[in-house]
Structure 1
Amino acid sequence: MRVGAGGAVGRTGARGVSAGVAGRIAGISGWRRLGLAWLSGALGAAAMPPYGLLSALAVSLTLAVWLADGAVADRTGIRRLGPAFLVGWAWGFGYLTAGLWWLGSAFLVEADEFLWALPLGVIGLPFGLGLFYGAGFSVAGLLWSRGPGRVAALGFGLAGAEWLRGHVLTGFPWNTLGMALGQNLWLMQGASVLGLYGLTVLAVLICAAPATILDRGSVLRRFAPPALAAAALACLALAGAGRIGGADAPVTGVRLRLVQPNIPQDAKFRPENRDGIVERYVALTRQPPAAGEPEPTHIVWPESAFPFLVQRDPDALATIAAGLQPKKLLLTGAARASEALPGERPRIYNAILVIEPDGTITDSYDKVHLVPFGEYLPGFLDGALRAIGLRQFVSLPGGFSAGSPHDQRILTVPGLPPVVATICYEAIFPRAIRPHTPPAGARATPGLILNVTNDGWFGDTPGPRQHLAQARLRAVEEGLPLVRDANTGISAVIDPHGRILARTAIDTETVLDADLPSPLDGGTLYARFGDLPFAAMLALCLGCALVGRRES
């Protein structure tokens, strides 16, 4: 029996949607419902790197659909968005807690100062970000139905929530659900058209579709969604396998050396270590290549390589120049100070510098997307937190300043195609790498993505592996090779199809020599159209959900 013209769930409520186990799960209420939602979300985190269990997300979202069945409508068929919100929030809370627990490692680097705040990072952040998932389930609840249309409703609500999570309050798209598809070489090729958020729509639809198998109704009604999901997954894999093709040709005359010094995080920023740190970098840079291999032409050092302002230290620049000879260029992460007026404190930027063989700095990029609480304190909290003696993780008076998003992101480096610079977690943001204004005289089309990072905060945990996987997807989206150099963590050279051509082990002092792959001719559809396919997929989900609601 239908209740109301809007297609609300029938008089028996959502408990009439499914039979057997699904019906019993839908009938759970109160704290048990929230507890199961949290556990199912935590299970879904096993789909993220380094585990990559897509089946875990399928079980997780199937349970989420059944829990939402019971939360969306009561026995009279009246929609209750509050319970739907709580189910979504609990699911997201569990998903992010299980996927981001390794953030706690950063609080242990200077435990005497930050240990007390560990629960805020490990529990507080997932607790707050879970609100996005709650909103997504609430939106889905408005569109909920008794049939397959509710899978499309969840795809619309949850993918929209993930997009918001990646943009609101500076954004934090870490472990976006699309990464369940974005770490498999064949499946990730879809990002060249759909991007991360388009893959997120597919991930939700594919993984939530099995929920309809236990619905009441005809065999076609029950099995069509999972059959379509399996077909979509197979088509995505086959299209990806066909797209990869042979090896990408290397750029002529370029040989990269990525230096991974593996400097402990608690020693990296100590001024008394300055000379030893520079000597360590130079010694690694000057190591001879393997027998029969060419000499490197371009050296890369990681994020924040020095515990001092190298641009203002002629002796250090002279030491570096001596280590670069002959004819090697250096791209290095470093703090950079602006020129200040008398009486003013200079702004300090987290930057990438281009250093010529004679020690001259010829170009730089200032990080735009800083890490809240890591590199700066948000403006509305800055005064209050500093008043009680708190600071950001990077011990720098006042924190880093952000570069202007309207400044050029492309670095001009002799011998290299135009370099798109990203620092640390800037590489997890889709579309963020596109420059606003290319430098005069340079090609507008970039030729490679450079990502320097310092994953030493997080040790041998899933964090550095997740970071690499997300940066890797940017190469596929944009059709550009990715060169990634980490202090520790994982350094790698990745071709524009996402193939890892060379990589280092975690927590290892080493150098990585590799050729630079060429970018794809013509780029990708995603590079051209951005998130328009994602918007079209959201519109399609909305239409299917509305049709299903009307027919319910």
Structure 2
Amino acid sequence: MARLFPTWFVTPVLLILAGVGAALGQAPWGLWPVALGGYALGLSLMTSSARPVLAGWLFGTAHFGLSLHWIVEPFLVDAAQTGALAPVGLIAMAGGMGVFWASAAGLGRRLEHGALGMAVALCLAELARAYVLTGFPWALPGHVFIASPALPAAACLGAHGLGLCLLLGLGLVLRWRAAPAVLGVALLATPFVLAALLPSAPPATGAAPTVRLVQPNAPQHLKWDPEWMGIFFRRGLEATAAEGTPDAVIWPETSLPQLLGRSGDVRPMVARASGGAPIVIGVQRYDEAGAPRNGLAVLTGHGGTVETIYDKHRLVPFGEYLPLPGVAEALGFGALAKQLAGRYAPGPGPRLIDVPGLGAVLPMICYEAIFPQDIRRVERPRAILHLTNDAWFGTYAGPAQHLALARLRAAESGLPLVRAANTGISAAINGRGEVLATLGLGRAGHLDVTLPPALPETVYVKTGDWVVGATLVLLLIGLSVLGRRKTVDVTPDRA
């Protein structure tokens, strides 16, 4: 190939292919064996490149360009106003995330341990990406295992532990020596072995509560259209009133068609449709200071009395608030800013809510389900409730990846998770991350599920990412010390 094409052309093409291959391990593709090959090729090319920082950026940008291509969907909801910003948003997101991988490549080269140093540096970069500036732990390397039999191992390792096994294992194999290669293969196999050793999830018992998940299927460009709002609301009422006697009914994010403070006429309609069962419903409201909030309300009784309110505390950048608004306006994002229902105020943080019939549960609204650390900030709940409106994410990769992350939260915590999604995918998931039932994309209706039991508290809930972080710091120090020893001048004195 070098005779047909110069190296300056071949290497970037291979880096882009490596990034695409790595991204194909993410949902909806779930091609985790292909992802292993993509990461192996990317690590190898970054190691051998004369310009590792550029190589890392190309590898990362290609990876995030494919895995996060759904980021254009919010701009296309009102294409006339914001459609032109869609490619800008994707390029900025992919290129910005690629900077983390470029930094990792620069650090990996300084460690002077080939692909092993690159693997350690990339693990550190992804850990930083998950936490810096509130973090964006989406499309992590460890997420490729969600589609594999290794997913239950997240109960011990978490996403970053899975990523450590993946990248460090490949880095050792790429040393091309027998002993490191054997250790690398053992690391790659560790998640699968752990998953096989962990106990299976017990089935729900007859005494377990039944939860009804309501999916009205309101496309985002029609969701607040006055001619359609009543249609979507009636769909929700019909699903709520369908045959059966659920113990609780869950509506998705922002599904109450009026502000909570002005909903005195519609809440009784929802309550009557439920037959007296408590309802958890996504709401919007203004707080005492006049700031808009995105949250949920627990309604009880035939009048739809508001028993509990929970406000979303992790807000979506550019969706619910505009970071650095002056800069964003100057860059041309003013049209998007005008589309915000208001610059939402965040809630105080994660907390448990009591839902009659279900007990103490941990609510998560949309974006909050991508952050595993919030589960460790509360007492252990009976289950996780996830209310979301994935209509913003389109009808392909975005909703599938969001569901995959919900599966990971369940596996990490050992907690059952039920999610009501406006346009899908509504689902019930057990404590091993296994999907028990779904209501697919673009369908209106409901899903009645028996809530599975919670598993014992997991190792990951007890330790979080501290173990992985400490391991990476020790590896970084060890490789740095060994690197210095290798650079000591051992040239003999000349007479």
Report whether the alignment pairs 1:413 with 2:355.
Answer: yes
Work out the CA distance in 2 between the residues paired with 1:434 and 1:277. 36
| Aligned match of 2:135 | 171
Residue 472 of structure 2, aligned match among 538, 548, 552: 538
The residue identity in structure 2 corresponding to 1:201 is L
Report whether the alignment pairs 1:45 with 2:26.
Answer: no
Residue 438 of structure 2, aligned match among 500, 503, 506: 503
| Aligned match of 1:127 | 95
The residue identity in structure 2 corresponding to 1:324 is S
Residue 375 of structure 1, aligned match among 317, 320, 323: 320
Report whether the alignment pairs 1:431 with 2:352.
Answer: no
| Aligned match of 1:85 | 53
Work out the CA distance in 2 between the residues paired with 1:388 and 1:287. 43
Alignment deviations for residues 413-460 of structure 1 (CA, whole Å, 9 cap, x no partner):
122131111111211112123446xxxxxxx32121111111112332
| Aligned match of 1:262 | 217
Give the drift of 1:511.
Answer: 0.8
Q: Are the structure 2 counterparts of residues 430 and 394 from structure 1 closer, same or farther at C-alpha, using a change threshold of 3 Å? A: farther
Residue 347 of structure 1, aligned match among 291, 303, 324: 291
Asked if the contact 2:170–2:188 (Cα under 8 Å) also holds between the matched residues in 1, the reply is: no
Report whether the alignment pairs 1:161 with 2:125.
Answer: yes
1:57-68 residue pairs with structure 2 within 5 A?
57-68=35-46
Alignment deviations for residues 320-370 of structure 1 (CA, whole Å, 9 cap, x no partner):
122122x30101111122124xxxxx1111101111133101111111111
Asked if the contact 1:260–1:511 (Cα under 8 Å) also holds between the matched residues in 2, the reply is: yes
Report whether the alignment pairs 1:456 with 2:391.
Answer: yes
Work out the CA distance in 2 between the residues paired with 1:182 and 1:530. 18
Report whether the alignment pairs 1:490 with 2:490.
Answer: no
SS state at 1:418 partner: strand
Aligned length, in residue pairs: 484
Give the drift of 1:248.
Answer: 3.9
Work out the CA distance in 2 between the residues paired with 1:190 and 1:545. 27
SS state at 1:508 partner: coil
Q: TM-score, normalised by structure 1?
A: 0.82
| Aligned match of 2:116 | 152
- Which consecutive residues of structure 1, in runs of 5 or more, have no partner in the other structure? 1-20, 73-82, 214-220, 290-294, 341-345, 437-443
Give the drift of 1:193.
Answer: 1.6
Work out the CA distance in 2 between the residues paired with 1:452 and 1:481. 14
| Aligned match of 2:490 | none
SS state at 1:501 partner: strand
Q: Are the structure 2 counterparts of residues 69 and 264 from structure 1 closer, same or farther at C-alpha, using a change threshold of 3 Å? A: closer
| Aligned match of 2:493 | none
Give the drift of 1:68.
Answer: 2.4
Asked if the contact 1:259–1:510 (Cα under 8 Å) also holds between the matched residues in 2, the reply is: yes
Q: Are the structure 2 counterparts of residues 394 and 171 from structure 1 closer, same or farther at C-alpha, using a change threshold of 3 Å? A: farther
| Aligned match of 1:331 | 280
Work out the CA distance in 1 between the residues paired with 2:441 and 2:262. 32
Work out the CA distance in 1 between the residues paired with 2:338 and 2:150. 37
SS state at 1:351 partner: strand
| Aligned match of 2:491 | none
Asked if the contact 2:32–2:147 (Cα under 8 Å) also holds between the matched residues in 1, the reply is: no
SS state at 2:450 partner: strand
- Which consecutive residues of structure 2, in runs of 5 or more, have no partner in the other structure? 488-495
The residue identity in structure 1 corresponding to 2:475 is C
Query: RMSD between aligned alpha carbons?
Result: 2.6
Work out the CA distance in 2 between the residues paired with 1:50 and 1:225. 33
Residue 151 of structure 2, aligned match among 168, 185, 188: 188
Work out the CA distance in 1 between the residues paired with 2:161 and 2:468. 5
Alignment deviations for residues 71-111 of structure 1 (CA, whole Å, 9 cap, x no partner):
36xxxxxxxxxx22111111100000011112222222211
| Aligned match of 1:440 | none
Asked if the contact 1:427–1:433 (Cα under 8 Å) also holds between the matched residues in 2, the reply is: no
Give the drift of 1:479.
Answer: 1.5
Give the drift of 1:199.
Answer: 1.2
Percent identity between the two aligned chains = 35
Report whether the alignment pairs 1:34 with 2:2.
Answer: no
Q: Are the structure 2 counterparts of residues 518 and 469 from structure 1 closer, same or farther at C-alpha, using a change threshold of 3 Å? A: same
Alignment deviations for residues 120-164 of structure 1 (CA, whole Å, 9 cap, x no partner):
22222101111111111111111123xxxx333122210111111
The residue identity in structure 1 corresponding to 2:174 is A
Give the drift of 1:540.
Answer: 4.7
Work out the CA distance in 1 between the residues paired with 2:328 and 2:116. 45
Give the drift of 1:255.
Answer: 0.8
SS state at 2:428 partner: strand
Work out the CA distance in 1 between the residues paired with 2:110 and 2:102. 13
Give the drift of 1:31.
Answer: 5.6
| Aligned match of 2:267 | 317
Alignment deviations for residues 179-223 of structure 1 (CA, whole Å, 9 cap, x no partner):
012332x3122211221111111121234444334xxxxxxx2x4
Work out the CA distance in 1 between the residues paired with 2:230 and 2:392. 22
Asked if the contact 1:270–1:307 (Cα under 8 Å) also holds between the matched residues in 2, the reply is: no
Asked if the contact 1:492–1:502 (Cα under 8 Å) also holds between the matched residues in 2, the reply is: yes
Asked if the contact 2:366–2:388 (Cα under 8 Å) also holds between the matched residues in 1, the reply is: yes
SS state at 1:433 partner: helix
Work out the CA distance in 2 between the residues paired with 1:275 and 1:508. 17
The residue identity in structure 2 corresponding to 1:34 is P
Comparing 263-272 with 27-36, greater Cα deviation is found at: 27-36
Report whether the alignment pairs 1:300 with 2:253.
Answer: no
Q: Are the structure 2 counterparts of residues 280 and 385 from structure 1 closer, same or farther at C-alpha, using a change threshold of 3 Å? A: farther
Give the drift of 1:244.
Answer: 3.4
Work out the CA distance in 1 between the residues paired with 2:84 and 2:392. 17
Work out the CA distance in 1 between the residues paired with 2:452 and 2:242. 23
